[in-house]
Structure 1
Amino acid sequence: MNGLKNNHYRIPLFYVVTLTFWFSMYTCVPILASYLEYLGASYDTIGLIIGMYGLTQLLLRIPVGVVSDRYHKRRIFITFGLMFSLLSGIGIVFVQEVSWILILRALAGAAAATWVDFTILFSSYFAKEHTTKAIGNISFFSTLGQMVGILSGGWFAAAFGFESAFIVGGIAGAIGLSCRFSLSKIPISVLKRLP
């Protein structure tokens, strides 16, 4: 029983994973177009690169959900999502070719497509009557991560240059990925019944 009680920290840990996941993908949002223009990309290309994030999500969100439901391996998809967010954030620091940045933004869209697995795994920790509250809580942290990521990305870029925003996003992605390995398989609904 004591081992189960010690798992109570995993709900706050899931919040940290969620916040850093979205933070890592959104630090580049306020500066990406300016950075691409600085690299000499045309406006058509800039639009394509920025839109690639949404296009990849559109193409992958349903297939990811279907495969995840079929094999019930939510944590694997969460791991891939966190790895993709890390790579898409920090990768821009190391490449300055527009075609590579296009691929990295597609990777960020693939990461975002795994969000369904975050919500399903997190809500499974709660009894059915508490799933609405669970989704509300996790949605708060996803939005908070996006907002803080955008604000931080703009601030770091203004203070230290474009690359700093990408580095900060990569660091957040690495934190989220390292925390993910401590997520529990034990449904928290079991923990809630403990004294």
Structure 2
Amino acid sequence: MTEIRSVVPDRRAMYILSLIGFFAIFSTTLSKNPVLPLFSQALGASDVVIGLVAAVSPLAGILFSFPVGVLSDHLGRRRLLIASGVIFLSAPLFYLLIFNPLWLIPVRFFHGMATAILGPVIAAMIAERFPENTGEMLGQYSSATLIGRSLAPLVGGAIISFFVFYPSLIPYQIVYLAAAVVAVPVLLLILLYRGENAGPLKVLPFSAFRTSFVAFFSNRKLRATAFVDMATYFAFGAFETFLPLVLLSGGMGAYQAGILFAAQTLIITLTKPFFGRIADQVDKRIQIIIGLLVLGCSVAAIPFASSFAAFLLVSALLAVGMSLSTVATSAYTADIAKKEQMGASMGALSSVMDIGHSAGPLVTGIIIAGSGYSAGFLASFLIAAVVCGFFALSVRDR
């Protein structure tokens, strides 16, 4: 009877966390795809400004994920989660006040802070609450966010299409109003969730951040795991940016790129809980290496695909590799990080991941401009192979 009572609250807690992730990512993606570039253009933004606006949100993740993780270790995770809920709810309303495209830059940065807080804090909460099946629960949460990420562009595009004949900025403003409405359950569910008993509020000295930073990056296993996530998202960033151009050069249409991305998201959504369950039962290090190698080989194969079926196969293999690797890296980090630095470790992992995600399109674009698609995508494979070797050497038991 005691076991049943302990399982039910944990299951309920996981449902709440998954719903928080679903609505939060649904809301923030609704504010971005496909409305953001269209809204920017309608405001009169140049291509440079549109690119800058798109880059600002990931920058918030790079800058804030680690400090937020440290704060959650010292001030309590629920407080940080409430702060993210407030941002998720308020940020979409700021878009309604914008009539100059340059104001999108600070608003996007502010909005990006919400996901920068949400990711590492919830990952740390899951790792602490479910130590025996961390991989499975992280996979379940990730799948919930992916469902929200997949549905949001469909809803956003439908809203814009329905109100397309309304004057001026009204179609886009309705999308941002909808994003605010979708964010209401995020804050309500966060307030409903009951986690740890937080300590008193206090001002953290800089030494607390320095200590957590040194503790993470001086640990060879944590450092190597972060590099795996960086290499994974480097390759994924290159893939999602340049695959449509490869398809276009091969005479295929944009709708086919949409099918590939949708299939890829569906595969990751369906497989992450399963691969998370496997990660809880086998050596996570082996799963991480296999996943990264599969992903690297898939990206390198893109220029050699000549038919839509071949591209679909490559995209599916990349999705499997990404699912294998990313669910295991988070679970492995939870295994080796100290409990009092769990938030900082998840935050550092997220920051390094965002660096890879931002660098992938930039570096690959430079290589493609000089040497073509084959060399550009080969770079992702070489980075993945080198990082696999580095990871294997770093995490071996001495």
Pairwise same-fold verdict (TM > 0.5): yes
Q: Is the 8 A contact 2:284 2:332 kept in 1?
A: yes
Q: How does 1:53-72 map to 2 (within 5 A)?
A: 53-69=264-280, 71-72=281-282
CA RMSD for the aligned pairs?
2.0
Determine which of 331, 346, 354 is the counterpart of 1:143.
354
> Helix, strand or coil: the match of 1:103?
helix
Change (3 A) 1:76 1:184: same
The aligned residue for residue 113 of structure 1 is 323
Change (3 A) 1:12 1:120: same
In structure 2, what is the Cα distance between the partners aligned to 1:62 and 1:8?
28
Q: Is the 8 A contact 1:28 1:153 kept in 2?
A: no
> Helix, strand or coil: the match of 1:147?
helix
Change (3 A) 1:111 1:99: same
In structure 2, what is the Cα distance between the partners aligned to 1:26 and 1:127?
31
Identical amino acids, percent of aligned pairs? 19
In structure 1, what is the Cα distance between the partners aligned to 2:376 and 2:306?
15
Determine which of 155, 176, 179 is the counterpart of 2:387.
176
Moved more, 45-54 or 99-108: 45-54
**Structure 1 residue 103 corresponds to structure 2 residue 103:** no
Change (3 A) 1:46 1:126: closer
In structure 1, what is the Cα distance between the partners aligned to 2:383 and 2:262?
23
Residue deviations 1:159-190 (CA, integer Å, cap 9, x gap): 3322222111111121122222123255xxxx
Deviation for aligned residue 1:62: 1.0
TM-score normalized with structure 2 length? 0.42
TM-score normalized with structure 1 length? 0.82
Q: Is the 8 A contact 1:89 1:166 kept in 2?
A: yes
> Helix, strand or coil: the match of 1:41?
coil
Deviation for aligned residue 1:78: 0.6
Residue deviations 1:17-59 (CA, integer Å, cap 9, x gap): 2212221222222221011011122333221122222121111
Question: Is there any run of 5+ residues in structure 1 with no aligned partner, and where?
Answer: 1-6, 187-195
The aligned residue for residue 82 of structure 1 is 292
Change (3 A) 1:131 1:185: farther
Change (3 A) 1:9 1:127: closer
Q: Is the 8 A contact 2:246 2:303 kept in 1?
A: no
> Helix, strand or coil: the match of 1:181?
helix
Amino acid at match of 2:240: V
Q: How does 1:157-168 map to 2 (within 5 A)?
A: 157-168=368-379
In structure 1, what is the Cα distance between the partners aligned to 2:337 and 2:235?
27
Q: Is the 8 A contact 1:153 1:165 kept in 2?
A: yes
Deviation for aligned residue 1:149: 0.4
In structure 1, what is the Cα distance between the partners aligned to 2:258 and 2:225?
33
In structure 2, what is the Cα distance between the partners aligned to 1:94 and 1:35?
10
Deviation for aligned residue 1:148: 0.4
Amino acid at match of 2:288: I
Which structure would you say has the larger Rg?
A: 2
Q: How many residues align?
A: 179
Change (3 A) 1:51 1:157: farther
The aligned residue for residue 52 of structure 1 is 263
Question: Is there any run of 5+ residues in structure 2 with no aligned partner, and where?
Answer: 1-217
Task: Report runs of 4+ in structure 1 exceeding 3 Å deviation.
Answer: 7-11
The aligned residue for residue 144 of structure 2 is none
In structure 2, what is the Cα distance between the partners aligned to 1:158 and 1:21?
22
